[in-house]
Amino acid sequence: MTDRVVGRRIVRLVTVGSTMDEVARLAAAGEAEGTVVVAESQTAGRGRAGRAWHAPPGTALLCSVLLRPPVPPARLSTLPLIVGVAVAEAIEAVVGTPCRLKWPNDVWLGGGVTGCKVAGILLASRLAGAAIDHVVVGVGVNVAVPVSDLPPGATSMSLEAGCALGVEELLKPFLVRLDIGYRVYLAAAGAPSLAPWRWRVALLDEPVVVEIAGERREGILRGVDDGGALLLEDVDGSVVRVVAGELVRGPARLARA
């Protein structure tokens, strides 16, 4: 595909502190958009809210992608959802089991109605004045992480598929789908349809708690708006937009018709 963006160059490393840090270093040195860094292991991998991301060498897809979208910074809010869809589509293509997407950056697989976490997404952006200089998209997927190394509430692709899977089986379909999704995102000037994400939304119409800057807000999850913000129905029936926060399942006492 001559107009391919994602995966124009792939840098493969055995061990790195963090693929995100490596991509940020390359970006600062003028690296072209679409470069991907993949590592067999990380010594300082991180997830959302600074949490550590650990997996035995060769058992997880650990990669980061350099993007330079020519869109207003405010339009970056939909990009994590586009990446989430690409991860879900790639996992579904390999495993054959539907994924669920938990706002804003988790991918769930198997484990019954909702599933267990199989992947996480983290984005970091750098501005140049009022414009975007670059975005680093970090992705971690439990491909063949042993059960003994999985944290509570997590799963792996191999565990759900019931057979051994390799990281390379996921890398190519992920890069292909991310490239397609990113080009759609660019064509829509950062405001693409979020229908593919909404089809997979986890906890829809369920009571949830959103932790925002140390405060907890309870409500019913009603999806996302076109800008990627979470829509939370309050106890009085009003709907509140949440643009950033940590989402967890809420107490059953919030459930209502």
Q: What is the pLDDT of residues 87-99, one digit of tens each?
A: 999 999 999 999 9
Q: The pTM is what?
A: 0.92
The secondary structure of 19-63 as a DSSP string is HHHHHHHHHHTTPPTTEEEEEEEESS-B-GGG-B----TTSEEEE
Question: Going from the N-terminus, what domains does the chain have, and what CATH number goes with each?
Answer: 9-198 (3.30.930.10), 207-254 (2.30.30.100)
Structure tokens at 125: 């952006």
CB 35 within 8 Å of CB 65 = yes
pLDDT tens digits for range 222-256: 999 999 999 999 988 999 999 999 998 766 544 44
Does 214 score more than 90 pLDDT? Answer: no
CB 254 within 8 Å of CB 219 = yes
